[in-house]
Amino acid sequence: MDLASTLLLQSSPVPMSAFLWCSLILAMGLLVWDTIEVGRNDAANLLNAVLGARVLRRRVAIIFISGGVVMGTLFASPVIETARKGIFDPAGMTLQMALSIYIAVYIVDTVLLYGYSAFGMPVSTTATLVFELLGASLFVGGFDTVHWGKSGTVVLGIVCSIVLSGIAAFMIQRAVRGALRDRATHLPTLLAHGGWVGGAMVAGLIYFMLIKGMKGLAFVKTINQEVISAYGPMLVILLMWAFFAIVIHALLVIYRQRAANLLFPVLTVIASVCMAFAFGQNDLANCASPGLAAKYIIDHRELGVEAASQIPISRWWLVGCGALLVVGISSRNAQRVTSATIRTGSAGDHVELWAPQWCLGLARGLLRFRGREPALAPVAVTTDRGRITHFDTIRASVIMCVSASVIATASSLSLPVSTTYVSFAALVATGFADRIFQRGDAALKLGRAIWVVFSWFMAAAIAVVGAGLVAMAIHQLAIVGMIICLLINAAIRRLIKRRADRHQKFVSQEARERLHPEDFATEDA
């Protein structure tokens, strides 16, 4: 029997005060609320590839993605403990201090995610939670309560994952595009190159998702000990690559055009489900951590904050949170996030987007240095239902394969990283590889990308200061502080909704004017 269990048996129950009851109710209620907000923004980015390439309809895509997320929660990595007690030290805190931090994180995170989603801006759940935990613990507990080394490692991991995703996506997309061009369903081309391209994607997903991302499972441990250690990872990857290349080539030979039509759409769906699985392991675990941490320290308050923080959290709580994501992903704000993100990386000439003038000016300045080479991406086409195909299935599969592999690797290292940042980096990097900024609304798309990245730094600053002030208010004013902060949260959300709806109408109107200026021309007086 471990120390926590011994203390639990020996200690007597501690009565629940009004503050603890309110904290428990608020923590669990905000956990549900924040999970829905995560679905509106972070999880919505899991749909970018399948919707941008028009592989699946939104409702069908949501079913696949939600299933992948729920499965990922069953194999959640130890990253949940980073958000629970890795950013700050619970040992030196009272119960009220710790609860103030966890609740403040949710009060700020719900309004921050809602605001970004309303304006169609992708932002990271993981990054905002990390900076909210850092700000709240710094304001309430002081400089010494923050694990600065661990916090620095987490932030560095987030930055490195963005850079790694961008570089890998650019190089892989340029190589794949060089071999296949725009012939995603051309049988002779796929007979020549489809096997090694598809085999590499499947082998990479299996290695990073299974062998790296799920190394805690018994049979995966056996594989690592008896196969990977004996022959080395490179040989194993090469053998899997060769095997799946032969399988895919055989399918193309047997089923001909039917297999050619399905190869990259199927790879895109498989990679998207893998990405959703990695999301459930990493991002969703971070989202659920503050609320579940608050519940556990209240339920086991007789042990003290430090000992209660050592009790393992049941993964079935995460499964429930995964199911709640469906509510958020199906919302109107989620559609704004996916639509705006897809258009930022669109191969189409005209897109409905908005960016500040300074971002547009910077984008125009950067585009002066572009070469004269033609775009490699195929021209965007319109489906039978009148929807634009913003990029082809070749690029969609590369985006999701790279993103899923990076997230799974981070989970294996117990590093909380951002699905949103990683997938956005892959989306923009593959766009650069395809030279989508050579034509059409290039300055607008690049300006939007600059604005999105700048907004990530804004989100970090808002998270630190906002969570710090809210945590101080709750710590000092207890229940009164909770009520005040919730009222401010509701007021800000109402203001954001009005402004975001007006902004959306303005962006749509502006896009129509740019595309059809003759319809808006006025005669001179």
Helix axes 283-299, 95-118, angle to 10 degrees: 150
More confidently predicted of 318 and 9: 318
Q: Any alpha helices (H) in 435-522, and if so which ranges?
A: 442-477, 479-515
- The backbone torsions φ and ψ at residue 382, rounded to the nearest 5 degrees and listed phi first, read -105, 135
Give the pLDDT score at 7. 43
* Other Cβ atoms closer than 10 A to 149: 8
94: confidence class by pLDDT, cuts 50, 70, 90? confident
The better pLDDT of the pair 306, 427 is held by 427
pLDDT band at 212 (very low <50, low <70, confident <90, very high): confident
Output the pLDDT for position 228. 84
String of DSSP letters for 293-341:
HHHHHHHTGGG-HHHHTTSPPPTHHHHHHHHHHHHHHTSHHHHHHHHHH
Residue 76: the pLDDT is 64
Q: What is the mean pLDDT of residues 288-299?
A: 87
* Among 37, 27, 39, CA closest to 115: 37
Q: Does residue 83 have a pLDDT over 70?
A: no
pLDDT at 227 over 60: yes
Tracing tokens 């592989």 back to the chain, one arrives at 55
Chain centre to alpha carbon of residue 492: 24
* Model confidence band, residue 3 (pLDDT cutoffs 50, 70, 90): very low
- The pLDDT confidence band at residue 12, using thresholds 50, 70 and 90, is very low
User: Is residue 453 within 8 Å of residue 459, measured between CB atoms?
Assistant: no
Q: Could you tell me the pLDDT band of residue 469, with boundaries at 50, 70 and 90?
A: very high
Helix, strand, or coil here: 390? coil
Distance CA 88, CA 394 (A): 43
Helix (H, G, I), strand (E, B) or coil at 87: coil
User: Residue 14 has what pLDDT?
Assistant: 53
How does pLDDT run across 320-360, given as a tens digit for each residue?
887 787 788 888 888 899 999 999 999 988 888 999 999 99
Using one digit for the tens of pLDDT, what is the confidence trace for 159-201?
Answer: 999 999 999 999 999 999 999 999 999 999 999 999 999 999 9
CA angle 263, 64, 124 (to 5 degrees): 105
CB 224 within 8 A of CB 213: no
Q: Do 484 and 473 contact (CB within 8 A), yes or no?
A: yes
- Give the least confident one: 81-85, 120-124, 405-409: 81-85
Residue with the larger pLDDT of the pair 21 and 78? 21
pLDDT of residue 10: 44
Supply the pLDDT for residue 78: 63
3-state helix, strand, coil in the chain (%, to 5): 80, 0, 20
The residue with greater pLDDT, 332 or 213, is: 332
How sure is the predictor about 300, in pLDDT bands with cuts at 50, 70 and 90? Answer: confident
Residue percentage of the chain with pLDDT more than 70 = 92
| pLDDT above 60: residue 422 | yes
pLDDT at position 366 is: 93
CA distances from residue 27 to 30, 98, 99, 132, 472 in whole angstroms, order as listed: 5, 12, 9, 15, 17
> pLDDT tens for residues 229-269?
888 888 999 999 999 999 999 999 999 999 999 999 999 99
**Closest of 448, 425, 338, 403 to residue 41, by C-alpha:** 338
pLDDT at 497 over 70: yes
Which helix (H) or strand (E) segment holds residue 381: the answer is: strand 381-382
How much is the mean pLDDT over the chain? 87
Residue 382's DSSP bridge partners are: 388
The predicted pLDDT at position 77 comes to 59
Q: Between these two residues, 470 and 149, which has the higher pLDDT value?
A: 470
Stronger pLDDT, 342 or 415, i.e. the higher one: 342
Answer whether residue 525 shows pLDDT above 50. no
Q: Which helix (H) or strand (E) holds 107?
A: helix 95-118
Q: How many CB atoms lie within 10 A of CB 282?
A: 29
Question: Percent of the chain, pLDDT > 90?
Answer: 51
Residue 296: what pLDDT?
A: 86
Widest distance between CA atoms in the chain: 89
How much is the pTM?
A: 0.90
